[in-house]
């Protein structure tokens, strides 16, 4: 597959990604576990069909020590035994937050309540911000048709 457009090669694209990268780094101190963050990034990317981000976040998670078998089950997390209750709540919130147009009223109260059982306010803010950020990145890459497969852990 070839890119439709080199978004990251434009001045506007570079400027925009500089600022949203800064936004993402700001969430690093909120106390959301790195493994949970990577699960959220991976699941939203799968849902949105973003090969670039799916490739990146799978590889980054493996590089950080997460189990490849577990990561291979992210798309089927409901049936998998490899995730904690807190991770399940984060994945459920990710799915509803990513598929926001599919459900009347957006994220359901039950889904929110399950997430709030496991994460404090700072972590919830980081979780919401991470979901919003990866959805933005997914859209950039899908629209520009950014190819996947060549990412090296830590590249960006």
Q: For 137-150, what is each residue's pLDDT tens digit?
A: 999 999 999 999 99
* Superfamily grouping for domain 7-144: AhpD-like (1.20.1290.10)
> How distant is the alpha carbon of residue 123 from its chain centre?
15
Q: Is 112 exposed, middle or buried (0-12, 13-18, 19+ CB in 10 A)?
A: middle
Residue-wise pLDDT for 86-125, tens only, equals 999 999 999 999 999 887 788 999 999 999 999 999 999 9
Decide if pLDDT at 156 tops 80. Answer: no
Task: Give domain limits for the chain.
Answer: 7-144
Model-wide pTM > 0.85: yes
Contact of 111 with 96, CB cutoff 8 Å = yes
Decide if pLDDT at 155 tops 90. Answer: no
Q: Is 77 exposed, middle or buried (0-12, 13-18, 19+ CB in 10 A)?
A: buried
Residue-wise pLDDT for 1-34, tens only, equals 788 999 999 999 999 999 999 998 888 888 999 9
> How distant is the alpha carbon of residue 104 from its chain centre?
22
């Amino acid at each position: 597959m070839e890119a439709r457009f080199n978004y990251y090669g434009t001045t506007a694209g570079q400027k925009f990604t500089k600022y949203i990268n800064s936004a993402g780094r700001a969430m690093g101190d909120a106390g959301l576990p790195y493994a949970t963050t990577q699960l959220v990034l991976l699941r939203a990317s799968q849902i949105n069909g973003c090969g670039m981000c799916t490739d990146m976040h799978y590889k980054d998670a493996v590089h950080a020590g997460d189990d490849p078998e577990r990561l291979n089950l992210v798309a089927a997390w409901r049936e998998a035994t490899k995730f904690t209750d807190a991770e399940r709540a984060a994945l459920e919130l990710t799915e509803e937050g990513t598929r926001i147009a599919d459900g009347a009223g957006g994220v359901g109260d039950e889904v929110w309540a399950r997430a709030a059982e496991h994460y404090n306010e700072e972590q919830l803010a980081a979780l919401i911000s991470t979901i919003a950020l990866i959805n933005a990145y997914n859209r950039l890459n899908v629209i520009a048709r950014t190819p996947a497969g060549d990412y090296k852990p830590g590249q960006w």
